[in-house]
Amino acid sequence: ADHEPVRTTCPYCGTGCGVLGGPAPMTPGDPEHPTNFGRVCAKGSALGETLGLENRLLHPMVGGRRASWDEALDLTARRFAEAVEKHGPDSVAFYVSGQLLTEDYYVANKLMKGFIGSGNIDTNSRLCMASSVAGHRRAFGEDLVPCSYEDLDEADLVVLVGSNAAWCHPILFRRLTDARARRGTKIVAIDPRRTATAADADLFLPVQPGTDVLLFNGLLAHLARVGRIDRDFVSEHTNGFEDALAKAQSDAPEFYAIAEECGVPFDDLVAFYDLFAATERTVTVYSQGVNQSSRGTDKVNAIINCHLATGRIGHAGMGPFSFTGQPNAMGGREVGGLANQLAAHMTLENPADLDRVQRFWKTQKLATASGLKAVDMFDALADGRIKALWVMGTNPAASMPNGNQVRKALANCDFLVVSDCVPGTDTARHADVLFPAAGWGEKDGTVTNSERRISRQRAFMPLPGETRPDWRIVCDVAQRMGFGEAFGFRNAASIFREHAALSAFENHGERVFDIGGLADLTDHEFEALKPVQWPVPAGQRAGTARLFCDRRFPTPDGRARFIAVGQQAPANATGQGHPVVLNTGRLRDQWHTMTRTGEVARLMAQAPEPVLELNPADAISLGIADGGFAEVSSAWGRAVARVRVTTDQTKGQAFLPMHWTDDVTAHGSPGRVANPACDAVSGQPELKHTPARLAPF
Ligand code: SF4
């Protein structure tokens, strides 16, 4: 029994595979987890090799020297309280992470919005899926993912838009190719690059960056033309169809014009439209290629419009399906980790929600307005409006666009606190206080994956050194700021119960996010909790696989909303000085800034260094050799990387992986180059489209 493996969840992508933790070497997936049934990808299989303590931060640091917990906590509480006292609550901010567990997220949000009284808590999920959140809220009235992974197994057509699932959600892609082998599922990939996913698709549309709305408006117009609109569903359960269709029709008059502007062969465009029109069981997956755009929210709604028009939602094997990037981006969305959400899918704009949360938290200081979204938050740090910032479990110096300004702002910040597992990140090196956080395998709580499935992350190793779980560090600071009563949590289970109770508090079905059925879990039941998909309303313990089966949406009149969206070019156009589109993204075997995956030699073998990918025609005209080095520069900064010349890249576009920071190679960080233009609705930055110039280096 001593060697019984512990059932936990992989800390990498939003697929959320169950894995077995235990004595190293530990590799296998959890055969009982309904997401992956025992399978894991290369990253998951190497988890056992990432548990060493060589690189770990094991004790608090203040001003670059080792300090006691009391000193670090006292100083943090005092400096935050002083800033609030002198400059008001909006002079402080938290920047948190989709790597945090739901319980960590919950207390951080409760402290900032509930007791400090500012909306200034945002998360690196803003960089990942904020446009999907905004699109869901516009269409459904709430941030809801209708589908379940089972729908991938049961679809006849799966359209992947801006999703390199073969690399970024490998186990989901394997589920999809299994379904193809079993039932002949057709896979369509829509992406500016010929990715591994595109190469394995039955049909690949190499769209020009930023033309997705036009492509899907053309599809909506086509569906109307060929009589594929579900008139009953549209008239009984939706609003706004005629406006959305009129906009789509005026946007996308003829196939040939759409094909030309989208950069897609005419025959392939027609084949896609016909396939979509003819296939009832269609799932459309969208990911960062859609979200990381100055028009990301419109793209999401252009996709959802096509599903609403055909009534393909709330049935097996169909629906619009956002794949989240991070392991717990969804959990963060649930607790209100985004600056424009309150908690439990309630909003800061709704007085009834504010009143409800204020009474539930028993606070007089609740924030009453949205806080600063990520890019705005770092702008406010740069110009001195933010006096104290606490970064938890993320490295914005490397990952934010306009990275040079972000680095300068972090360096000049009056008071910077960083909680992390490792001491040397580009952000941590500017910290006044560094808190040693517990890592994967050491901490307990829950995460939610892309299909709304809440799974336990369980500790299977002792806390090393003086590390503490993130939730506890936040509570320790909250207590020192005088909010002890509201933060007297004993363990992750007690936080989860409060979070679940808040989701059900005065919720008579208005909000779909309701896990009231889990609010009375005992510690023992929490320990044993099996993966479950929300909602789980009071009186239930079983979850809900699929939403909207009853054709009701959480809008005031119960109807879903079409959004009339028009094609618009990306915010910053390419031009004379910067003629190339720089795109950024993930590689198969790395995770974020490589603090964990970078430790594993066999994962590093896939790509030992950052490589800029470039079309042969561009390489020739720029005089850049395959295997040589190139400098990529934009109006915001520059990076240098080795070059791979490949026809997978379209002419006029270049791709740089997001993982390398300046710690690993001298100038490999794409954040320094990326433009900070954001989607006006979601605040998500346009990391997929930066006008750039290339030159041999
Ligand atoms: Fe982990 Fe994602 Fe791989 Fe599953 S697919 S093992 S969650 S990285």
Q: What pLDDT score does 31 carry?
A: 93
Which helix (H) or strand (E) covers residue 633, if one does? strand 629-633
Mean pLDDT to the nearest integer, 620-648: 95
Flag whether pLDDT at 599 surpasses 90.
Answer: no
- pTM (predicted TM-score): 0.97
The rounded Å distance from CA 155 to ligand 1 centre is 22
Atom of ligand 1 nearest to the CA of 42: 3
Flag whether pLDDT at 1 surpasses 50.
Answer: no
Q: Which of 168, 97, 105 is nearest to 126 (CA)?
A: 97
The rounded Å distance from CA 458 to ligand 1 centre is 16
> pLDDT digits over 366-383, tens only?
999 999 999 999 999 999
How far is the C-alpha of 608 from the C-alpha of 277, rounded, in Å? Answer: 44
The amino acid at 136: H
Query: Across all residues in the chain, what is the average pLDDT?
Result: 95
The rounded Å distance from CA 518 to ligand 1 centre is 26
> pLDDT digits over 272-321, tens only?
999 999 999 999 999 999 999 999 999 999 999 999 999 999 999 999 99
How far is the C-alpha of 124 from the C-alpha of 142, rounded, in Å? Answer: 20
List the beta strands (DSSP E) in 463-567.
532-533, 560-561
Atom of ligand 1 nearest to the CA of 172: 5
Order across the sheet with 532-533: list the strands.
Answer: 445-448, 453-457, 532-533
Bridge-based pairing of strands 580-585 and 653-657 is parallel
131-137-142 Cα angle (round to 5): 130
Q: What pLDDT score does 667 carry?
A: 64
List of residues 6+ apart from 91 with CB closer than 8 A: 83, 84, 385, 386, 387, 388
Q: What pLDDT score does 24 carry?
A: 55
The rounded Å distance from CA 656 to ligand 1 centre is 22
The rounded Å distance from CA 168 to ligand 1 centre is 8
Q: Is 18 helix (H, G, I), strand (E, B) or coil?
A: strand
Confidence class of residue 26 from pLDDT cuts 50, 70 and 90?
low
Flag whether pLDDT at 668 surpasses 70.
Answer: no
Residue 558's region, left for phi above 0, alpha for psi from -120 to 50, else beta, is: left
Atom of ligand 1 nearest to the CA of 29: 6
CB count in 10 Å sphere of residue 405: 18
- Contacts within 8 Å (CB) and 24+ apart, 531-538: 531/18, 531/33, 531/34, 531/35, 531/453, 531/454, 531/455, 531/456, 532/453, 532/454, 533/148, 533/451, 533/452, 533/453, 533/454, 534/334, 534/448, 534/452, 534/454, 537/504, 538/504, 538/514
Q: Mind listing the domains of the chain with CATH numbers?
A: 6-50 (2.20.25), 61-128+330-343+366-446+457-490 (3.40.50.740), 130-323 (3.40.228.10), 580-696 (2.40.40.20)
> What ipTM describes this predicted complex?
1.00
The rounded Å distance from CA 36 to ligand 1 centre is 9
How far is the C-alpha of 231 from the C-alpha of 236, rounded, in Å? Answer: 8
CA dihedral 441→446→447→452, nearest 10 degrees, is 150
Q: Which residue has the tokens 């190339």?
A: 580
Check residues 384 and 23 and name the one with the higher pLDDT: 384
The rounded Å distance from CA 35 to ligand 1 centre is 10
Which residue among 40, 324, 326 is best mutated to probe the pocket of ligand 1, counting the most ligand atoms within 8 A of its Cβ?
40
Q: What is the secondary structure of 498-517 as a DSSP string? A: HHHHHHHTT-SSS-S---GG
Q: What pLDDT score does 251 carry?
A: 86
126-140, 198-212, 580-594 — which is least confidently predicted? 580-594
Atom of ligand 1 nearest to the CA of 44: 6
Flag whether pLDDT at 390 surpasses 80.
Answer: yes
Residue 171, Cβ density class (10 Å: 0-12 exposed, 13-18 middle, ≥19 buried): buried
Q: Which of 325, 402, 309 is nearest to 98 (CA)?
A: 325
Atom of ligand 1 nearest to the CA of 40: 6
Q: What is the CA radius of gyration of the chain?
A: 24
Which residue among 15, 45, 99, 149 is best mutated to probe the pocket of ligand 1, counting the most ligand atoms within 8 A of its Cβ?
15
The rounded Å distance from CA 40 to ligand 1 centre is 6
Residue 317's region, left for phi above 0, alpha for psi from -120 to 50, else beta, is: left
Does residue 44 have its Cβ closer than 6 Å to ligand 1?
A: yes
Mean pLDDT to the nearest integer, 672-688: 96
Atom of ligand 1 nearest to the CA of 327: 7
Q: Which residues of 447-464 are buried (b: 16+ CB within 10 A; e: fewer)?
A: bbbbbbbbbbbbbbbebb
Does residue 195 have its Cβ closer than 6 Å to ligand 1?
A: no
CB count in 10 Å sphere of residue 651: 13
How far is the C-alpha of 90 from the C-alpha of 569, rounded, in Å? Answer: 34
The rounded Å distance from CA 334 to ligand 1 centre is 21
Q: What pLDDT score does 27 carry?
A: 60
Phi, psi of 99 (to 5 degrees): -85, -20
List of residues 6+ apart from 171 with CB closer than 8 A: 15, 17, 35, 36, 39, 40, 41, 44
According to DSSP, the residues that pair with 535 across neighbouring strands are none
Atom of ligand 1 nearest to the CA of 16: 7
According to DSSP, the residues that pair with 695 across neighbouring strands are 631
Atom of ligand 1 nearest to the CA of 41: 3
**Residue having the nearest C-alpha atom to atom 2 of ligand 1:** 13
CB count in 10 Å sphere of residue 399: 27
Q: Is 396 helix (H, G, I), strand (E, B) or coil?
A: helix
The rounded Å distance from CA 153 to ligand 1 centre is 18
**Residue having the nearest C-alpha atom to atom 4 of ligand 1:** 17
Flag whether pLDDT at 253 surpasses 80.
Answer: no
Flag whether pLDDT at 666 surpasses 60.
Answer: no
> pLDDT digits over 522-578, tens only?
999 999 999 999 999 999 989 999 999 999 999 999 999 999 999 999 999 999 899
Q: What is the secondary structure of 282-320 as a DSSP string? A: EEEEE-HHHHSSTTHHHHHHHHHHHHHHTT-SSSTT-EE
Q: Which residue has the tokens 């082998």?
A: 181
Does residue 46 have its Cβ closer than 6 Å to ligand 1?
A: no
From first CA to last CA, the distance across the chain in angstroms is 59
> pLDDT digits over 432-483, tens only?
999 999 999 999 999 999 999 999 999 999 999 999 999 999 999 999 999 9
The rounded Å distance from CA 449 to ligand 1 centre is 11
How far is the C-alpha of 406 from the C-alpha of 672, rounded, in Å? Answer: 9
Atom of ligand 1 nearest to the CA of 12: 8
List of residues 6+ apart from 182 with CB closer than 8 A: none
Does residue 47 have its Cβ closer than 6 Å to ligand 1?
A: no
Which helix (H) or strand (E) covers residue 612, if one does? strand 611-614
Q: What pLDDT score does 3 carry?
A: 63
CA distances from 657 to 555, 588, 612, 634, 688 (A): 39, 10, 8, 16, 11
Does residue 317 have its Cβ closer than 6 Å to ligand 1?
A: no
Does residue 40 have its Cβ closer than 6 Å to ligand 1?
A: yes
Asked if 112 and 367 count as a contact pair (C-beta separation under 8 A), the reply is: yes
List the beta strands (DSSP E) in 37-174.
61-62, 65-66, 92-96, 121-123, 157-161
Atom of ligand 1 nearest to the CA of 171: 5
Asked if 321 and 145 count as a contact pair (C-beta separation under 8 A), the reply is: yes
Q: Which residue has the tokens 């110039």?
A: 693
Confidence class of residue 332 from pLDDT cuts 50, 70 and 90?
very high
